[in-house]
Structure 1
Amino acid sequence: MSQVYKKGYNRIDLLGCPIDALNMHETISVIEDAIVNKQQIHHVVINGAKFVNMRKDSQLKEAIFDCDLINADGQSIVTAANFLGKYIPERVAGIDLMDNLVKLSFEKGYKIFFLGANGVIVKNVVDFYTKKYSSNIIAGFQDGYFKSEDEEQIANKIAKSEADI
């Protein structure tokens, strides 16, 4: 885990799951600080389904717990936390965060490497943001359907892209 929490952001414990009580603006600020300081951070969003699934899947739980930044994506998570007296200011949906980070990249000149989904979908996402903003924000892209023996090659591809995000 990186030193993201030097600023003293509030990480709560919701029934054994760590969640950062941040709004969208604060989340973007944490991520931008990491970009500016050339820090790598791992981010995940939690919704009700993921919350339940991590209780049955130890690998998922470990991956979530190892993240530097954990946002409440689902309104059910925000409601449950607030009901239990653990305030989360708002839902930070992963798709909304991504859209905000793409806009930030355009405004600040950051580059993004898009990883995930199938080849057609990831290419459509890249084409959408290229048309909306510019190809200058695109460092590269890769579908998420690859073999474990290809991981090192793909990691090198991402590193060579010099992506900020």
Structure 2
Amino acid sequence: MEDIKEKNRYSILNTYVNAISMDDTIAEVESIIKRRIPTQHVVINASKVNLMQKDKELRKIVNSCPLINADGASIVWAAKNLGIPLKERVTGIDLFNRLVELAHQKEYKIYLFGAKEEVIVKVKRIFEEKYPNLQVVGYRNGYFTEKDEPEIVKNMEESGADMMFVAFSSPKKEYWVNKYLQQLKIPFVMGVGGSFDVVAGLVNRAPMWMQNNNLEWFYRFIQEPRRMWKRYIVGNTKFVVLTYRTKAKLKTANWRF
């Protein structure tokens, strides 16, 4: 991963982002799988960046990941304002779907982890019906206690999976994967948030025209305004302020130089 870290990795708002396309990302994941070195993957959006301003441990975990994609339109907007040549938005849900398709094509083994039992069973069935050659070598819902974790991790390690997708919310998924990454011995481990709910049809994605115009966040907001107002109204405002403050600091530093 040295080349991608050196050539395509940019500092942004106390974290990093790899300025690469979806296809470039897929190629990097294949390289990770071939090397068999356990690697944690993350995507960043405004909400996660806001969390990282106060949560130093989360920041450390995210920044240690060799591959960080721009999930949110907010990151694309910030990158443009800060002069970062971000190629495109690589959303977690789209990358997840592309990687499952890749697993079907290349016979990679996958493990699904998280969400409610009925949801993960449905996701497994949907993928297996769509991709007859897909090898789902393990799945586990996201409801467990700490004492269950050794057995869960052992099962994952013994599965022989090439990729694992973890459907927890942030920062739980980042903390959990970081804690057990080396024990899992799975080459590529990716947090996918609420993607299982989307695949299962419990949550609808925004129409394509809204996705193309960076309005997917607004679609989520109007679906669940009471639950999402703090994340999108308060959170996005904080993110905008953070971006402009960073831009002002960069201008001042350049002027002094």
Q: TM-score, normalised by structure 1?
A: 0.91
Contact 1:9 1:22 in 2 (8 A): no
**SS at 2:83 equivalent:** coil
Q: Tell me which of 2, 5, 13 is aligned to 2:2.
A: 5
The residue matched to 1:42 in structure 2 has which SS?
strand
Where do 1:2-81 residues align within 5 Å? 4-7=1-4, 8-81=6-79
Residue 154, structure 1, aligned to residue 152, structure 2: yes
Structure 1 portions without partners, runs of 5+: none
Q: Please, which runs of 5 or more residues in structure 2 have no aligned partner?
A: 164-257
Residue 135 of structure 1 and its aligned partner are, at CA, apart by 6.1
| Contact map agreement 1:48 1:77 (CA 8 A) in 2 | yes
Over alpha carbons, which structure has the higher Rg?
Answer: 2
Q: 1:97 aligns with which of 95, 98, 102?
A: 95
**Percent sequence identity over aligned pairs:** 38
**What is residue 119 of structure 2 aligned with on the other side?**
121
For the 8 Å contact 2:104–2:133, the answer to whether it is kept is: no
136-145 vs 73-82, which deviates more? 136-145
Superposed CA deviations along residues 61-86 of structure 1, whole A, max 9, x for unmatched, are 23212222111100110111121101
Higher helix share: 2
- Aligned-pair CA distance for 1:156: 0.9
The match for 1:142 is 140
Provide the C-alpha distance between the structure 2 equivalents of 1:21 and 1:138, rounded to a whole number of angstroms: 31
Relative distance call for 1:48 and 1:123 in structure 2 (3 A) is same
Q: CA deviation at 1:107?
A: 0.5
Name the SS for the 1:61 alignment partner. Answer: helix
Number of equivalenced pairs: 162
Counterpart CA distance in 1 for 2:49 and 2:101 is: 29
Shift of 1:163: 0.5
Q: 1:12 to 1:140 in 2, by over 3 A?
A: same
The residue that corresponds to 1:133 in the other structure is 131
Q: How well do the aligned residues superpose, as a CA RMSD in angstroms?
A: 1.5
Offset, 1:14: 0.6
Residues 51-108 of structure 1: per-residue CA shift (max 9 Å, x gap): 1112122332232122221111001101111211011111110110010000001101
Contact 2:103 2:134 in 1 (8 A): no
